[in-house]
Amino acid sequence: MALSLRVASVATLASLPAGILVAYALARWQFPGKQVVNGLVHLPLILPPVVTGYLLLLSMGRKGWIGYYLDEWFGIVFAFRWTGAVLAAAIMAFPLMVRAIRLSIEAVDPRLEEAGATLGASPAWVFLTVTLPLTLPGIIAGAILAFAKAMGEFGATITFVSNIPGQTQTLPSAVYAFLQVPGGETSAARLVVVAIAVAMSALMLSEFVARRVAARVGGG
Amino acid sequence: MLSVALRHRFPGFQLDATFTVPHGVTVLFGRSGSGKSTIVKAVAGLLKPDEGRITLDTDVLLDTGRGIALAPHRRRLGTVFQEGRLFPHLTVRQNLAYGRWFAPRGSRAEREDHVVEMLGIGHLLDRRPGLLSGGEKQRVAIGRALLCAPRLILADEPLAALDEARKAEILPYFERLRDEVSVPILYVSHSASEVARLATTVVALENGGVVRQGPPEAVLGDPSVTPLGSREAGALIAATVVRHHDDGLTELSAGGTPLFLPHLAQLPGQPVRVRIAAHDVILSRQRPEGLSALNILAGTVAEIREGGGPGAMVAIDTPAGRVLARITQRSVGALGLAPGAAVHAVIKTVSVSPADIGR
């Protein structure tokens, strides 16, 4: 359970900067291959999670074409570790996060960014002082969505890092494991209650934060 | 001084304009579609023209020939947009402080308290822009541009989105800006009364080209320069307030000739500039008798320009200054008007609107 929270939190926070960058690029930049990037980002949403997990295993596993070198050169191993569960959850949640942030970036009036530039702010400062604060509600919504998706991620996780109690056994895999053995229903039910509690509090927190931020940004 | 030379081609429209912006308020004057907004965007750096060179004093902001195009944030021009464009997530105080933050250290900026006092926005400082009225927003936008230590202020039709009452509320602030702040202002407008009230220099634009640049009296008094069409033409007369009469009239002196207008707020001795719409002027060969109009100026015809329709624009030089009259070509013939002919220009007192009186 604690592992699940940790996996989901790390997955969300670690992918947030990349999510903002990709969302900004998709919303505002014109570059060759934009549709390809867009497709790649959304692929995990469309592919069966098991396929995504298998692809991760092929590429990021110890003998995978990226994982091998990560292990050789940096000693970083994802397969069958909790970090692997983070990676799987992050990739599965990424499209949801990017979609939410991209929508809110597209809603920011570019004329306000122009105004920032005429007042002496460089593009980076315009992004930090105008675009980012105005996008905050979308970023929060995207992060909460990604967190929820990461908490519930099952298919890619179990394929990529298996279901090792204490190491890679996230909440959904634990529920699944309990349901596979006779008499495990009680334990499973306990976890289900916990899952509902976590999900509800995350939802309420996001509502609260989003409302606070919207009130600040909108100004009535 | 700002020097601008631009060439830019749009589908179906060609901009080719060259002008300078000396100190004071230079009004870029023309109807919508004449290229005003393109020029402002190019000066601000928000649009890259096909060809052009823009210099501010000794700094080159743009020189397409040498491949120089300074980014907007390096130009240090304060811009006031038509729609205000205040940052909705910041308070008024933070909006005002935004530009100062990025201004180079040691640059000369107006003091914030002076600007806040001048624009009368002290009571708004802790509010957010979403709760301000249109006029209040525009005052904050002026202050924000002023406080970024600009070398020039660009005002892109700052009053066009406001109703008449709000316009009347904001115009005096621009007049104070002109009189109290040393930063030159490039002010874009399609309103002749804004020219009358604010301009120290006018750049008249027609179909993407500059047709004339000069002092407003000379530009607006030229019958061939009608950026808004002859319907909107009108000359400017410079005058001094002499005294306020008990019956609500204000007596002015223009070149020694008395002029009577509806009551003005200015004190005796103060200079004013009055815009006299060409369609409000009646011409007469003899000095008319028994007429209700109070202002009758004797003068001579300087120039006549016949338009495409039945109208003609007649420029009359009077001791009070140049006056334009829009009359029919039939009347030109009936009166036998020609350059050098003596005429009297008749101006009704009440036809002069307070919005057309400036300085």
Q: What is the ipTM of this complex?
A: 0.81
Bridge partners of residue B5, in order along the sequence: B18, B53
pLDDT for residue B299 is more than 70: yes
Q: What average pLDDT is seen over chain B? A: 88
Q: Which among A133-137, B141-145, B172-176 has the top mean pLDDT?
A: B141-145
Q: What is the pLDDT of residue B293?
A: 85
Q: Judge whether B226 lies within some domain.
A: no
Best of B61, B81, B87 to mutate (most A CBs within 10 Å, chain A): B87
Decide if B131 and A219 are in contact by the 8 Å CB cutoff: yes
- Is residue B207 domain-shared with residue B249, that is, in the same domain? no
Q: Judge whether B53 lies within some domain.
A: yes
- Is residue B277 domain-shared with residue B193, that is, in the same domain? no
A25/chain B closest Cα distance in angstroms: 20
Residues of chain B with pLDDT > 90, as a percent, come to 37
* Overall number of domains in chain B: 2
Q: What does the alpha-carbon distance between residue A154 and residue A167 come to, in Å, rounded to a whole number?
A: 15
pLDDT for residue B106 is more than 80: no
Q: Which of B221, B250, B280 is the last residue of a domain?
A: B221
Quick one: average pLDDT of B178-200?
Answer: 88
Quick one: average pLDDT of B290-305?
Answer: 89
Q: What is the pLDDT of residue B4?
A: 92
> Is A146 in contact with A19 (CB distance < 8 Å)?
yes
- Closest-CA residue of A relative to B141 is A115
Q: Which of B178, B193, B221 is the last residue of a domain?
A: B221
- Is residue B217 domain-shared with residue B239, that is, in the same domain? no
Q: What is the pLDDT of residue A220?
A: 38
Q: What is the pLDDT of residue A129?
A: 92
Decide if A118 and B46 are in contact by the 8 Å CB cutoff: yes
First to last CA, chain B: 22
CB distance from A133 to chain B under 8 Å?
yes
* Count of alpha carbons within 13 angstroms of residue A207, beta-carbon side: 6
Q: What does the alpha-carbon distance between residue B69 and residue B47 come to, in Å, rounded to a whole number?
A: 10
Best of A104, A108, A118 to mutate (most B CBs within 10 Å, chain B): A118
- Is residue B254 domain-shared with residue B150, that is, in the same domain? no
Residue A86, φ and ψ in degrees, nearest 5: -60, -50
Range of the domain at B208: 2-221
Q: Judge whether B265 lies within some domain.
A: yes
Q: What is the pLDDT of residue A219?
A: 47
- Is residue B209 domain-shared with residue B268, that is, in the same domain? no
Q: What is the pLDDT of residue B53?
A: 93
- Least Cα distance to B154 among B174, B136, B134, B131 occurs for B174
Q: Which of B221, B255, B287 is the last residue of a domain?
A: B221
- Note every long-range contact of B61-69, with CB atoms under 8 Å and residues 24 or more positions apart, other chains counting: B69/B45
Q: What does the alpha-carbon distance between residue B306 and residue B294 come to, in Å, rounded to a whole number?
A: 28
Q: What is the pLDDT of residue A116?
A: 92
- Is residue B16 domain-shared with residue B97, that is, in the same domain? yes
CB distance from A129 to chain B under 8 Å?
yes
Best of A104, A109, A112, A119 to mutate (most B CBs within 10 Å, chain B): A119
CATH of the domain at B94: 3.40.50.300
Q: Judge whether B227 lies within some domain.
A: no
Q: For every one of its 220 residues, what pLDDT tens digit does chain A have, with 9 covering 90 and above?
A: 677 888 888 888 888 888 999 899 888 888 888 888 888 888 888 888 888 888 888 887 777 777 777 776 776 777 777 888 888 888 888 998 998 899 889 888 999 999 999 998 999 999 999 999 998 888 888 888 888 888 888 888 888 888 777 777 888 888 888 888 888 888 888 888 888 888 888 778 877 877 777 776 654 3
Decide if A220 and B77 are in contact by the 8 Å CB cutoff: no
The contact set of B with A (CB < 8 A) is 44-46, 71-73, 75-79, 81, 83, 85, 87-89, 98-99, 101-103, 127-131, 144-145, 148, 154
- Is residue B52 domain-shared with residue B169, that is, in the same domain? yes
Lowest-confidence pick of A199-203, B27-31, B48-52, B317-321: A199-203
Helix-strand-coil split of chain B, %, nearest 5: 30, 35, 35
Dump the DSSP string for A67-104.
HHHIIIII----TTSHHHHHHHHHHHHHHHHHHHHHHH
pLDDT for residue B254 is more than 50: yes
Q: What is the pLDDT of residue A218?
A: 56
- Is residue B203 domain-shared with residue B250, that is, in the same domain? no
- Is residue B215 domain-shared with residue B83, that is, in the same domain? yes
- Is residue B61 domain-shared with residue B182, that is, in the same domain? yes
Q: For residue A48, give the amino acid letter.
A: P
CATH of the domain at B300: 2.40.50.100
Quick one: average pLDDT of B85-105?
Answer: 88
Q: What is the pLDDT of residue B28?
A: 93
Q: What is the pLDDT of residue B93?
A: 93
Quick one: average pLDDT of B62-90?
Answer: 90
- Is residue B167 domain-shared with residue B252, that is, in the same domain? no
pLDDT single digits (tens) A129-171: 999 999 888 888 888 888 888 888 888 888 888 877 777 788 8
Q: Judge whether B228 lies within some domain.
A: no
Q: Judge whether B238 lies within some domain.
A: yes
Q: Judge whether B247 lies within some domain.
A: yes
- Is residue B211 domain-shared with residue B245, that is, in the same domain? no
Q: What is the pLDDT of residue A216?
A: 67
CB distance from A32 to chain B under 8 Å?
no
Which H/E stretch holds residue A198? helix A185-218
Q: What is the pLDDT of residue A1?
A: 63
Q: Judge whether B303 lies within some domain.
A: yes
A102/chain B closest Cα distance in angstroms: 19
CB distance from A128 to chain B under 8 Å?
no
